[in-house]
Each structure stands twice: as structure tokens, then as C-alpha cells.
Structure 1
Amino acid sequence: MKSLHKFCCFCFLLPPFILSDATDTITVNEPLADGKTIISSGGTFELGFFSPVVNSRSRYLGIWYKKVAKSAVVWIANRDVAMNDTDGLLKMTDQAKLTLVKSRDTAIWSTNATRSVRNPVAQLLDSGNLVVKDAADDNPENYLWQSYDYPTDTILPGVKLGLDLVKGIDRYLQSSKSSIDPSRGDFLYRTDPNGFPQQFLMNNSLPQFRSGPWNGLRFSGSPGLKPNPVYTYEFVNTPKEIYYKFDLINSSVYSRLTLSSFGVLQRLNWNYRAQDWTVYVNAPADNCDTYGLCDAYGICNIANSPVCSCLDRFVPQSPNDWNATDWSSGCQRRTPLDCQKGDGFLKYTGLKLPDTRWSWYNDSINLKECEKICLKNCSCMAYSNTDVRGKGSGCLLWFDDLIDITMIGDSGQDIYIRMASSELGTGSNKAKKIGISLCLVVLVLLVLGLTLNVQKKRKRRQAEHVSGEASTGTRSTQYLAEEGDKEDVELPLFELKTIIQATDNFSRDKKLGEGGFGPVYKGTLVGGQEIAVKRLSQNSIQGLDEFKNEVKCIAKLQHRNLVKLLGCCIQEEKILIYEFMPNKSLDFFIFDHDRRRFLDWPKRFQIITGIARGLLYLHQDSRLTIIHRDLKADNILLDIDLKPKISDFGLARIFGGTETEASTKRAVGTYGYISPEYAVDGYFSTKLDVFSFGVLVLEIVSGKKNRGFSHPDHHHNLLGHAWLLYKEGRCPELIDAHLSVSCHLYEVIRSIHVGLLCVQQSPDDRPSMSSVVFMLAGDGSLPFPKEPGYFTERNLSFEPDKSSSGKKENSSGNALSITLLDAR
């Protein structure tokens, strides 16, 4: 009870001399001084100044419960900037801005009202909401500002926890640092709109707990949210807003949802008998609430020991690790999928649905139609209903590994997971299977000789076209292993006739574009799977080295923000086969006047954070450190949900061990994206990719290319222009006009700030990608960016001709050759 009391109360001490004027408003002529308070009309809440510790000089402006014996602060205005004296003053200005000032009239906090009214007042409502409005207007739709839109570590009944996509408001909880320090801590609880929306408890940028998607009754991972006589629950998901809220049926009940400083989400109710706050529900509630504990296709069941096991018909990726209770490698299908031969679906019941950030949904179609859509797409891993009320409705599809699954039981949901057709048989077919097996044995014996002859011919044919030994196995590309490699790269081999059939003999109508490697075609395999086919051109500036490099770099990489390499072909030609991205590349949208309107700010921010996570995986989380060296808008592909995938690893560099930097006499890349130290001295490290990422961020925000950018007031490129605007406090001028409605200004300006940190002149000043991911997800202060690379004004008469893209140019200063690559 002592520890609970320490958490619940957020103990603050109100000085004994606090007085109340028995009013609930602050006006232009009647500010609120330290030592006085205002009280809501029903007497439920009080607003004033407080200190969290006895005899502390730190003073905060907050709202707390008035009627209960052990009050709890539910909102703080200046949580990150304490006042060190008692001469604070909260006043209303003529411009309808509520402002907190300390000694010598120094403002430390203010509301952000965008319009003024004739008679502005601030009023504390009996719901605990502090609002700024016209004194004569009580319509909530006309409030100029309200504290409900800016919660701290607590939400009250009626607060919308989530996103207002029209106003650009993100309402989320952020923990305090401790019970005596209300400044922002490490934990956040917020709505994630990606895929089918759900809520996440985050420790900085790392997910700790996931609510699961809303199923019409409750969140899939929150079985405790059941109809009861105390609460009502609501989840709204529309193009205008996405939010969750709870309301009280009985107004005599006091309840709040609070995120503690140690990362636990708790619903607390006031217990009149005990005269204390008691816990109604916790999240995480047990070990199975830990996000991704059993990893891909693993299922957590708190009733079992150990709690993690693989789903039925799945087996551990690493049995030894699982036996040692290390489940981080996850599970895999016992029988691999074969989309061309036909897959099916197996029903699993009573589950918390997997992470839906990489999902697609449609509320208007039924489960049967949902199955058909998923079956036609070889990348679709599972499907379920979006709404379980009645007989169920809506369609939810997953397009990545299924992560964070928990056994819930009767309150759980059904999900249909893709399986190889051979896994879907039943015991009644046993005799039939035996007969088929015998026939297959005879068939194998009959064709064995023919198979051996075919393999010999294939060896002979491959040896004529590829230097080195080529294995005939369908899962080996040993010819790609360089001397000294410890292990070969395994990748499916496609026959040339299969690729010719899939692309209608490389039909012009199937051509998607052409880059430094060669033309790219759309293809469709016999089973219906769509693919992208990259064919090495005879005139390509890239050759066998780049072909081998791309295979080595990406064949074993598995990340949702990296494009998947499905296989290759080495018969007569060198061809790479990728998953097909229906929305082409980022430059197709971002630099087109009409198409870029389809990328609102939430989608652009999703793209920025996705690229960041992909680079973090390459630099830090994959088995080897990989520097891409050609990161640009052309090489960011977009899937069906406009989520980014980094592509084109032909110029990438792999580092092993502790090696993280190198130099070269042949600097390769694309003007506008390569860093100064690489272009001039040939020096490169992970900070080269960081620089390119920074350029991408500024291009995504502005909708303008760095290379070729012009401005009537100066001759700087986009980087220099952005830096000038930042120094002068004019960042909003950089924002694409198409984002005026959808953008969350604070988030956009923070992205610009991060982009400028990434393009600083010195690589030592640039942040690592782990820091970038943290900065994009957080709300803390950021260092002031230094001058970006290439900041000196350009002499436009000496700008490289854009038509030279694709040709080699030599730098006369240092014998470096810079290879420019065409857009894909």
C-alpha cells in the first residue's frame, strides 16, 4: 500500500495559506497569483500553484481533485520548467492567450490560441478541463484552447486519447520522471495510426505493451474492458480523428487513467471506505503483456510454464535458444509456404490479435471476401474480422510476420493464418496420403535418371556464364561467395523461362523504369504473385560486382523497411527478382505537383520514421554493419499502404567486426545526397547514410529536390535554404503547401530540426541513426544544428548538368571518380 500510495497520489503539498476566491474563471483583469486558486463550479477540481516536495522552492501550476482526502494532480502546465519562487502569475491576455509568468514578467508557458475573441476568459470546468473561450460562449466546439488536448501523465473521463487529424493534435500520456519530479519521463502511451490503429506503451522508442486493435467491443489485448455499471468505452476511427475515451455512468465515482514513472498504466478509482485511491486495472498486467515476448509466430500463455510456445504447425527458429528460454528468434512454419502450388488458411481461436502496424483493413467487406483477397496475395500472411459484434464483419489483413500474440481464451478473437496446403489435411485422409506417397516413390524412381541428366546440363550451362563454381541446388548461389567468405549466400534460383513468362518476354508495357543497373519490369508468377524484375543492361555502369554485392547485402536481411529479394537468375543474363511495390518509389509522389497531395503529413512522417528504422537496422541491428551509400528518394519504394522500403543495395558496403568506416578512390552515389567528406576525400562511414537521410527528410517535408533547388533571394541549395529559415525562426515557410491541413506543426518542425542535424558539415556532429529514431519519436530538447554541408552559395553557371546523370566524371582535385546514377 505504501508503494501504491507513493504512485497514486503524486504527492504535492499545498501551503496552508492558499486562498480561494470561490470562482472558476480567470479574466484579463483578474489574474491568478501564487497562493490563490480557482475551483470548478461543482467543487470537484481546483487549479493553482503547488510544490511536489515539502519545503521545495520548485513551483508548478496544476489541476487536482478538490473533494477527495488524498488529492492527485491530474494536469500540469509547466511540468518541464519549474518556477523557483512564489511570485508566479497566471494571466489572460487581450489576444486570448493564457500565459504563466514568473518574476519580471518572464513567460514560461502559454496556450496557443490561433484567434481572439471579444471577452476571453479561462474557466475550470467540473470535468477537470481548463478551457479558454469567450465568456458568453459555452459551445465546446468554439473553445480556443483546452487542457484536455494536452494531457500530461493522466487522462480523465471524457478525454479523447488519440489523434485529431484535422487540427493536427496528438493526445498522449507521458510519464513523470519520478514521484517528486513531474518533468517528462521515458514512458509514453499513445495511439499508433499505422495500419489498423492500436495503442502502444513505449519506453522511448521501444514498445513495451500493445493494446491490440479495437474489435467493436474492446481492444483485442485488453479482455478486462467489459461492459459494467461504472464505465462506458468508445473507440472512434475516421478520416478526421482516431481516439479512445472512457466515460463514467455514475458521476459520484472518481476515476482516472495514469501512466506511472516506472512505466505502468493504471486505472485508479477513489475508494470512499478506505479513503484512498485503489487500482482497478494494470497494463502490463503480467509477463505475457510484454510486447513481442515470444517473437514471430510465438504465442504467450500465462497459464503455461514456460509461457512461450510456437503456434500449432510452427516450430522454433532456433531450438537450442528456445530450450534455454530465449525466445527472441521466434518461430517458423513447419512446412514452408508455396504460393504457386496453392496455400490455405488455418483457424486459431481465443487470441490477442498480432501487431497491426503492417496491416490493411476494410470495414465494408465480409470474412469470405477477406479470405479471397488474402489468398490472391502471396504476401498476405493472415486475415480476421475488424469487428466481432454479432456474426462479425470487416476485413483485416496482415502483410508481415505475426508478432505479439497472446492466448486470452473466451475474450480472444479468431484469426486465419496462411499455411502450406499439405498442413491443412485431416486424419480421415490418412489412407489417401499413403497411396499418394507410394505413387510418388514410384514416380521419383522413374524420373531419377532424367533429373540427374538435367542437373549435369544445368551445371555445364551455368559454368559457361558465371566465373566460379555454381551448385545445381534450388537454394544455393555459391557462385556469389567471394574468396574468404565464411558462408555462402542462399537464395532461390529462377529459370530464365519463368522470368520471360512472368514479364511477357520483357514487354515494354511491363517496364516500370530504368536505373543504373538496368531496366525494371513488373511480372506475375504462375501462382499470381506479383514481382519486380531488375535486369542487368549490357550498357549498365554497374556490373557483376554490383550484382553480387546486392545479393550478398540483402539476401539475408529481414526488416519491414527493406525491400525483399525473392531470388535471382543467372541463365544467360543477370537478373534480380524482388517483391513488387505497387506505389513505385518516393520520388514518383513527392516531386510531382499533383501526386504529392496524396501524401499527407501522417503518411510522410510514417515514411520518414520507416526509413530511419530501416537504416538503424542496417547500421546497428543486422548481423553486419551495412552502409547503403546511395540512399535517395528514387531508392525508397512504397508498398500498398505507402510504407517505405529501402532498395538498391548494389553500391552498399558491408563491414564486419568493429570496422565502421573506410575510404575509397571511387566515390559512388548521387549528386544532392552524398556527404561532403565522401565526395571530396572518399571517406565514408554510417554518417554518409545519415547525411543522405537528412536530405531526404527535408525533401519530404518541402516537396522539393535538394539538387536543382533555386530561390530568388539566394543561391543556396535546399539544405542551405532550410538552415537559413531555421536560424530566423521561419521553418513553416519550408513546409509543402499541400500539408497545410494535415500537418502537426510541432512534429513537422521537429522533423526539419532532425534533418538539419543529419546534414551538418562534420560527420562527427551528425547523430547516429539510433539517436535519430529516438529524436523523431520523442519530445525532448534537441541541440542547435551547425552549418550544413555544401552551405557556401553556388555559382549556378558551374552547376553539373542534370543530363549528365548516368555518366562518370572525374574530380581533378583528388583523383576520385564520382559515379552518378539515374533515378529508378
Structure 2
Amino acid sequence: MYSSFGGFSSYLRMGQGLGFFFFILSCVCLGGPCFCSAHTDSIKPGEGLQFSKLLVSAQGTFTLGFFILDTRSYLGIWYTSDVNNKKVWVANRDNPISGTNANLMLDGNGTLMIIHSGGDPIVLNSNQASRNSIATLLDSGNFVVSALNSDGSVKQTLWESFDDPTDTLLPGMKLGINLKTGQNWSLASWINEQVPDPGTFTLEWNGTQLVIKRRGDIYWSSGILKDRSFEFIQTHHNIYYFISVCNDNEIYFSYSVQDGAISKWVLNWRGGFFDTYGTLFVKEDMCDPYDKYPGCAVQEPPTCRTTDFQFMKQSVLNSGYPSLMNIDTSLGLSDCQAICRNNCSCTACNTVFTNETGCQFWRDKLPRARVGDANQEELYVLSSSKDIGKPWWIWIIILVVVVFLFMLAVFCCSQRNSRGDGKKRETAKDIDNVKEFSLVSVMAATNNFSDENKIGKGGFGSVYKGILPGGQEIAVKRLSGVSTWGLDQFVNERLIVNQQHRNLIRLLGYCSEGEERMLIYELLPNGNLEDLIFDPDRRKGLDWNTWCNIIKGIAQGLDYLHNHSRLNMVHGDLKASNILLDHDMNPKISDFGTARIFERNESEPQTSKLVGTFGYMPPEYFSEGWCSPKTDVYSFGVLMLEIVSGQRIIPPDCKDDNLSLIRNAWKLWGEGNSLKLVDPAMVGPHSTTQIVRWIRVALLCIQKHEERPTMSDVCSMLNRRDPPEPNPPAIFALR
């Protein structure tokens, strides 16, 4: 990029030289109008930025303006010096507009919005506006709306683009979470080079290391940050200074550079992660093969694949239709290839639309096309390089070896009598015993999935109520898409069919036809525990005995899962919204999509899928990946504190400096004032002593991992046994 500037190149790469050079160049009139005088870095109330105009930061480092990709228009920011205008931020990435009849407006109330002819305004700073304000593009690349004092000085920042990153991390931007507001800072790749909508990969900070996830599953991690470097990242140490913050307000990672240096870290649509200087933190598609590259999460390929299976773009003869098609425009080529690779019947794939979104899959082996052949089509064909050119006798040897190894494996399995082996057989048996419903019968029961029948929605998809022909009421969880995460959850939840306990949700069956994946449960009429805890009116309507039954029922359900079920399981995402209530207000633990089976003598197992809910999960889960029955114990302790106090573990809008629920509970316990934590609506005759017992048990559950009781101990303490004195919560040890 710099070679064309001859002797200037070494200078222009340093500081603001290059940005200033291009800024001055843009001011030269070459046969057209001179825009230099029109450039400004701010928009005042009542002013707007037209589609063809630009904002340029004070020193010319960054530019903000509208741009067009694939006939759709966006508002974005880019380095002024970047000849390719590669965007570092996109305001409306998942809400593009059509045409060029658009303006960026700051109205009289201080609301920053994109006004366009195609629909309602796109508001950028919802609930963060002030009448006396200004929108400014800073030389850091941050676009901010600031409230002003009467003398024109900045009073406070109301909104900033750095709080809503896209695929690029600039110096001073954060990755992590604001514990007060719940604000999450993470990068999300584009779907492809032409579609900036959130794509396949995300980059997050888990408190100790950078983590790239692929559709929610860990794809790569940087290794722990130590002594100004990451284990699996080689960087220019004389350029970067890394910042890691962990306190009561926020947990985040950031980086800075030498004054004047131009820098950006980019997560691209194929999982590549690199910086301005071409340093590859993660190579594109590096973790797709199942080799163990440094930092790559361990992947388990289907038995039909080997590590040398790769996609090659080939011209093939295709006279038929694809075997399967998914027109979801949030899926890109990377998603299509991942889905195909993990489906043993898939031989080739491609995108559907001209902007390379949506997926289509082929099952048949398609012959290569020759020059002049009709019905040619370019597809991404999955094949093994070892398959090319093998003589016929090699296949006979391979077949003999495979048969021998298979017979040997069968013999070895027949000799095993370990409990773990029996558990695996039982798992397979449980899956086969689930009742299968036809798609037609489920559609009839739910009135064709009508909006009137929809009773819930989450990351997994939607839930519909329905009635079977015999009159039984059901709840149908309809999983969205065919992602690996969705399929894993689908299989996981089917495992509970033979887990019989009064405090576990009852799975009636499933439906799996085409792309549809659905789970059919008994319908529980009283909703979930979250709505009960945090609705003051509903809380007042409950008597003391009902609260006791709810607490004890949840504990007994967990104890059954950990110690008495046919498949010893860790739930992995216990929280108030995953506890449902039947006609008699009996609690039923639900949502086993993240559950895992464990051996009773298993040491602390690690997981690469960190999918629990923040606040409910213990520190060791996020820092070390440990997932064990003690994980559920911690979550149960948090849930007890929420029930007793009527407060959320992470308040949705925390504007003051009050302590978190856990810290406040520990503080009041140490002062001997635990009853101050309790919601007055819960306290009644003869309940005070038992509430103090509950708080003590809750504090025992959220201690450090090795100090937590088992769920059997918890059940005993809730009933009769005196709980011991608790130690400080685990979050203090982490800090």
C-alpha cells in the first residue's frame, strides 16, 4: 500500500503522517468541487449529514459517511488513509437501507438517527439523548454523542460507537462486560465481504484470554495473558500495550499503541484474526481441519470424516436440485461448509443468493465437468486428497483393515463391564425410546405455529402451546435453524426422557423432519420462576409453604440428577427462567440443552463450550472451563439469594454504586443483619429462622469450588441439619 509513495513510505507509516497526507490530498481540486472546506467533525442539534457528505475527525484520522454494498446502504467509519475504505464500524449493519435518499440527523432532543425514505428512522442512541448535545467523530475512531455545559464544554458522554463494536477492535475499545449495566463488548464478523450483518464468528474476552467462537462454540483461544503477551499470539511488543481490568464494575480487555500509530485488529468472515501490520493471530480456516493447531478448540469430526477432508471449488455436472436448502440469509459460506462437514451424507455445498448467503447441500457424488459440458455449476465439493489416484488394490487393503479393526472394537467393547460403558449404552437406549411425533400432528396441535399459540422465545427458537387429539396440553420447543449448537441441544434434551422425577420437566417426545427439530413437553400453566420472583404482585400472592416447596423441590431435582438418576447429569444452566411451575406450583427443572453426563469418580472435567448464563455460573467455569455438579450447586445458591431478596443477580439497569447481590448478602451476613436482604413480602409468622437458614445455605453454595456442599448436603441442611459457617464467596477469590 505504501510503495507507490516512494521515499515517503517509511515516514507515512508512522504517526498521523499518512492520514494527514490523504486528508490534504482530498482537499485538492482536480477538475471537480473542493470538499475540504465542507468537512467537519461534528453534528449539532437540528443539523444533518447528507448521504453524499462526510464527517472527518479533527486531525483527519477517521472518516464517517454512507456507503453502498450489494445495492444496500449503510453508515460507517473508516481510516481516512485506507485506500480501500475498509470499514472499522458500521452503524446499521443488521438494518440496511435501500437507495441513497438518507441523512444522519441529530434532532432538537439530541436523538441521533438515520432518516431514510424506506421506513422508520433508525435510532442509534436510544434513551441516551439530551437537548443540549453534539455528535462528534473523534480521532480515536469513536463516534460519540456528548451532553454540553452552558459554556459549550463537554459535560458527559451519553452514547458512543465503541459500545457497539462490529468486526474491528481499535485502540481504546473494550472486549468484555460492564457488570453494572450488563453492556457486552464483543466483535462479530461480517457474513462475507459484501454483507456486514453479524456473521459466523465472534471475538470475546472471558476474563483471562481472548476467545473466538463459531456460532457459540469455542473455535480458538489466545491462551492466558501473562507478562504482556498471550500464549498463542505473536505480536509486536514494542507497539502494543495490553490492558486487563477486573473489578466490581467491569471485566474487560483493551489495548493501546504508541502515540500516532495506526492500528486495528480485524476478525474476518472466515475466522481469520489479524492486525494492521499483517500479523496473523489466527489464519483463515485454521481450525476447520481437525488438526490441533495452537489455540484451536478440540473438535470431534464425524466418524465418516478424516483430517484431510477439505472443500475444493469445482465445476461439476449438476442436472438436479440440491438435497437440502436453507434460505436463512444470516448464514454465510463458512456456515454452509461447517454444516456440510458435520453431516456424513453431505458431499457438496454452496450459497443460495447472489450475495453469498443461505445454504444448499448435495448428497450425491457429482462428476467433474469438462469444457463444453452443459449443466455445469461451481460447487464447494468436500473430498479427501488421499482419495485421488488410489489403485483398486489399495481399497481392498483398506477394507480388510477396517473390517478387522471393527471386529476388534466389537470384541473389546463386549469385554468391558465398567459403569461408564454401561452408561453409554443406556444413553443410546434413552434416545431410541423417545416417542416421535409427525410434523403434521405437531402443526395441527399448534394451529400451524400461529402467533396466538406462541408462549415464549429464546436463543434456541420459539415455544408454542398446543393440544393433542386426546386433549392433553403440550409445549412445543421449535429449534431454529440446523446449526451444530441446535442439533447438540436437540440430542441433549432427548436424554431426559427416562429421567423420572417430580421436579424435572417431562419430555413427551420429539419431531425431526427435514430441517425441523422440535421437542414436545408437558405444558405447565404457571409459567417460570423468573416471572414469579421479580413480579411484586405475584410474590405477594404466595404463602410461606409454597416458597419452601419451591426451594426444596429444586434442590431435590438437582440431587436426583447428580446422584440418583440413570444418567448422572450436570444441568449446566440452572437459573430462574429454567424453572417451570405446574398447577400446584411444584417446580420443574427444564432446558437441558447444555447438560452433560459425568462419571461419579470423574475429576473436575473441562469443557470447551462456555454457554452458561453470566451471574449464575461460578468463576472457575469461565476461568478454567471446569464443569461439575458443583457448578449446579453454585447456580442454586445464586437462585436462592434471588428468591429471598426479590433482586436479580445482575440488575437490568444499575445506575448507582450499590453492591452486587452476592457482595451485599455477604456484607449483611458478616454484620449479623441478613434479614435486611429479605423482601418484606416474604417474611411471615414463624419464617424468620428458616429464612436465615436459607441465606446461610445459599452462601455455602457460592463458596470456592472445593468448599461447596453437594446437593445431597444441601437437601439435608434445608430440612434438618444445621449448616456450618460459610466462607467468603468464590468471586472474591477470583478477584
What TM-score, normalized to structure 2? 0.41
